[in-house]
Amino acid sequence: MLLHIDSSADTTADSVTRQLTETFARTHGTADRRHRDLSVEPVPPITPAYTTLGRRVEREGFVPPAKVPALIESAAEQREWDLTLPLVTELLAADTVLLGVPMYNFSIPAGLKAWIDRVTFPGALTDPDTGESLLRDTRVVVALARGGGYGPGTPRAHFDFQTPYLRAYFGNLGVPPEHLHLVAAELTRVDVMPHLAGLEDLAAGSLALARATLTALAAA
């Protein structure tokens, strides 16, 4: 199953990340695709009841999701679990996770962070018998877009908290490096930012390379 998640607040055709994820999804061609749009259908941020339930689960030794209901002690905790379990189940069912992630203020959109916080429930993504990650065979493809230039060697490379964060997050979850693909289109705001004037060819080349890379990944 392909789990396709868009996180851009721009739901129009102008969204570069939506263009890129659609390129991948169309080439991938699977009939079994789940599309989740975090702008149209936001994931609620976690609450104190979520953290309380999570700590209780941790004290039990990271129980699997099927045993979490037995540890719920309030209606608020039940609500949090009802919001969380479908997202966890959806993630675990995916062979490939496709994420569209624009750079907002040097990092990721708040809507995607809310999804990350919720699905990373204690023990939910770990095999309780072996301690191994349940995502060890999952492929994660991330289509990134940045208005300026943040690639290695650029003057603003150290402002990129988007790529390192996602690499660290999925790596910590147990997604092997060879299964994690971060594909970035740079200078996507070249048409509206005066200080980027003259970089139009670089922007077009970056976008073309991102499309070609995602097309190749989808066909693999």
- Which tokens belong to 80? 């949090």
- Which tokens belong to 28? 């991938």
Under a CB-based contact definition with an 8 Å cutoff, are residues 138 and 97 in contact?
yes
CA distance 188 to 206: 9
Three-class secondary structure of residue 136 per DSSP: coil
Long-range pairs for 56-65 at CB < 8 Å and ≥24 separation? Answer: 57/121, 57/122, 57/123, 58/122, 58/123, 61/123, 61/128, 62/122, 62/123, 62/126, 62/128, 63/123, 63/128, 64/123, 64/124, 64/128, 65/89, 65/121, 65/123, 65/124
Residue 1 is assigned to a ligand binding site: no
Residue 103 is assigned to a ligand binding site: yes
CA distance 206 to 139: 23
Buried b (16+ CB within 10 A) or exposed e, 17-37: bbbbbbbbbeebeeeeeeebb
Residue 150 is assigned to a ligand binding site: no
In DSSP terms, which residues pair with 4 in a beta bridge? Answer: 35, 98
Q: Residue positions in the annotated binding site for FMN?
A: 103-106
Q: Residue positions in the annotated binding site?
A: 103-106
